[in-house]
């Protein structure tokens, strides 16, 4: 019988993209939805980056296939950034530029994992970690951080979850969806566990590194014994408002970078040439615009936190980075407005979308059914209005 592969049947559609599509659908029907579902900067890509892309087109030198791993000058600039800012001695040979950090992670999974391998995923986790491990036919092992511990998984929990089948651990810091940031001490404790197990690798997703209000941004690859054991994931989407340009990268030991090149050479050949020229301008240029965006996110974090606190029955941590809240809304489960009963996070988001016209993402897709994800990469006006709508809509549930 004709049917999709078991590999595809085993994964869910991306919940973030699905909710964003649903919000768009409402908007197309003329409904004024405030979309807080997609994690996407509401700023424009800075002008000097756009100019570099225009110049690359006008130069006429960038119309052919780029090298599989990315242009040499871009890889050198990324390596230099890691040496200077993150204290990790990467060289160009360690860098592979891909079609967004999502493809970078997919390359890593396909290059490293065999059927039966386990990957410890810090939960709550970004939706695609689970799917990408499964696509590589390996098994995700979720280890849960509690809201009381700022959703952070501890070194002791990691140690406990390790089995002879563990091939890697994966986490993001600053974290999507919780906004939590692992401190240097916490990462040192995790690294101390990992170095005791030579067969285990760390996939450290640092895509939100610029959006860190805590100031303590440590790359686990910089810690003793970790350079040879870490795949650092990063990209341009969040820090430079370049989601549509699709430029992500890994920095990893050469044998892993070579494996990712092999995967990428077969899947996509390389990342878009013009986007790479734009990325080079971003990483080697002035980062005043990034700093300005971060100041705005910082302000919005506090605005949303204060407004969320005013909504009865909602429990939230105080995120230190990224641009998300992941509040526990389970107090509302089982409550009804007389017509509709909110049974779980999916219902909660559906109710908020249909009645409140605010789009959120159910927490189940990130590993916690009690929570929902809210992106505050939106204007202060929209955020204030969204919080007002949420409070109002939820007040109807008894």
What distance in Å separates the CA atoms of residue 217 and residue 202, rounded to the nearest whole number?
A: 17
Query: Please, what is the minimum distance in Å from the beta carbon of residue 375 to ligand GLU?
Result: 7
Q: Does 38 sit near ligand GLU (CB under 6 A)?
A: yes
Q: How far is CA 251 from the centre of its chain?
A: 17
- For ligand GLU, the binding residue among 102, 229, 277, 301 (CB under 6 A) is 102
DSSP string, 142-165: EEEPPGGGTTPPPHHHHHHH--TT
- For ligand GLU, the binding residue among 11, 14, 142, 285 (CB under 6 A) is 14
Query: Please, what is the minimum distance in Å from the beta carbon of residue 20 to ligand GLU?
Result: 7
Per-residue binding letters, 186-225, with ligand GLU (x by CB under 6 A): ----------------------------------------
What distance in Å separates the CA atoms of residue 257 and residue 251, rounded to the nearest whole number?
A: 7
Q: Does 176 sit near ligand GLU (CB under 6 A)?
A: yes
Query: Please, what is the minimum distance in Å from the beta carbon of residue 85 to ligand GLU?
Result: 22
Q: Does 268 sit near ligand GLU (CB under 6 A)?
A: no
Torsion sign across C-alpha atoms 148, 363, 318, 142: positive
Tokens 């036919």 belong to 137
Interface stretch with ligand GLU, choices 123-131, 163-171, 340-348, 388-396 (CB under 6 A): 123-131
Q: Does 42 sit near ligand GLU (CB under 6 A)?
A: no
Report how many residues bind ligand GLU under the rule CB under 6 A: 10
Query: Please, what is the minimum distance in Å from the beta carbon of residue 322 to ligand GLU?
Result: 9
DSSP string, 235-281: ESTTTTT-GGG--EEEE--HHHHHHHHHHHHHHTSS--HHHHHHHHH
Q: Which is nearer to ligand GLU, 227 or 326 (CB)?
A: 326
- For ligand GLU, the binding residue among 33, 39, 274, 277 (CB under 6 A) is 39
Per-residue binding letters, 228-267, with ligand GLU (x by CB under 6 A): ----------------------------------------
Q: Which is nearer to ligand GLU, 13 or 73 (CB)?
A: 13
Query: Please, what is the minimum distance in Å from the beta carbon of residue 33 to ligand GLU?
Result: 16
CA distances from 117 to 110, 132, 344, 347 (A): 12, 13, 32, 34
* Residues within window 130-169 making contact with ligand GLU, judged by CB under 6 A: none
Tokens 């949303």 belong to 304
Interface stretch with ligand GLU, choices 12-20, 179-187, 259-267, 311-319 (CB under 6 A): 12-20
Q: Does 24 sit near ligand GLU (CB under 6 A)?
A: no
Query: Please, what is the minimum distance in Å from the beta carbon of residue 100 to ligand GLU?
Result: 8
Which two three-digit tokens encode residue 255?
A: 């044998």
Q: Which is nearer to ligand GLU, 172 or 320 (CB)?
A: 172
Query: Please, what is the minimum distance in Å from the beta carbon of residue 244 to ligand GLU?
Result: 11
CA distances from 168 to 17, 119, 130, 138, 272 (A): 26, 5, 13, 11, 29
What distance in Å separates the CA atoms of residue 261 and residue 81, rounded to the nearest whole number?
A: 21
Main-chain dihedrals φ then ψ at residue 97, nearest 5 degrees: -95, 130
Return the residue nearest ligand GLU (CB atom): 39
Peptide bond before residue 174 is cis, with ω within 30 degrees of 0: yes
| Angle, CA of 23, 27 and 30, to the nearest 5° | 150
What distance in Å separates the CA atoms of residue 287 and residue 183, rounded to the nearest whole number?
A: 24
CA nearest 223: which of 189, 172, 249, 181? 189
Binding residues for ligand GLU (CB under 6 A)? 14, 16-17, 38-39, 102, 126-128, 176
């Amino acid at each position: 019988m004709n049917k999709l592969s078991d590999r595809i049947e085993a994964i869910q559609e991306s919940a973030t993209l699905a909710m964003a599509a649903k919000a768009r659908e409402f908007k197309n029907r003329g409904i004024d939805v405030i979309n807080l579902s997609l994690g996407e900067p509401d700023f424009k890509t800075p002008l000097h980056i756009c100019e570099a892309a225009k110049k690359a087109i006008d130069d006429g030198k960038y119309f052919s296939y780029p090298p599989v791993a990315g242009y040499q000058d871009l890889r050198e600039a990324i390596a230099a950034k890691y040496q200077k800012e993150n204290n990790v001695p990467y060289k160009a040979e360690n860098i592979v530029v891909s079609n967004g950090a999502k493809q970078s992670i997919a390359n890593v999974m396909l290059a490293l994992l065999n059927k039966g391998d386990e990957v410890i995923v810090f939960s709550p986790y970004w939706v695609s970690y689970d799917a990408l491990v499964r696509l590589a036919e390996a098994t995700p092992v979720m280890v849960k951080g509690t809201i009381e511990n700022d959703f952070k998984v501890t070194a002791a929990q990691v140690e406990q979850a390790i089995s002879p089948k563990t091939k890697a651990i994966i986490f993001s810091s600053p974290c999507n969806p919780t906004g939590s940031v692992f401190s240097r001490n916490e990462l040192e404790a995790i690294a101390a566990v990992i170095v005791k197990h030579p067969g285990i690798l760390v996939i450290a997703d640092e895509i939100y590194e610029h959006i860190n209000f805590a100031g303590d941004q440590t790359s686990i690859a910089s810690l003793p014994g970790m350079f040879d054991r870490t795949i650092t994931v990063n990209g341009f989407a969040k820090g430079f408002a370049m989601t549509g340009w699709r430029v992500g990268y890994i920095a990893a030991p050469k044998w892993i970078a070579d494996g990712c090149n092999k995967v990428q050479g077969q899947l996509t050949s390389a990342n878009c040439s013009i986007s790479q020229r734009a990325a080079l301008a971003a990483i080697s240029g002035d980062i005043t615009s990034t700093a300005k965006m971060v100041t705005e996110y910082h302000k919005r974090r506090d605005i949303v936190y204060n407004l969320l606190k005013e909504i009865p029955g909602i429990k939230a941590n105080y995120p230190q980075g990224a641009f998300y809240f992941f509040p526990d809304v389970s107090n509302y489960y089982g409550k009804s407005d007389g017509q509709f009963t909110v049974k779980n996070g999916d219902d909660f988001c559906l109710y908020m979308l249909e009645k409140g016209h605010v789009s959120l993402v159910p927490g189940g897709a990130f590993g916690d059914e009690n929570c929902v994800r809210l992106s505050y990469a939106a204007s202060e006006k929209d955020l204030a209005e969204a919080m007002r709508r949420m409070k109002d809509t939820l007040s109807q549930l008894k």
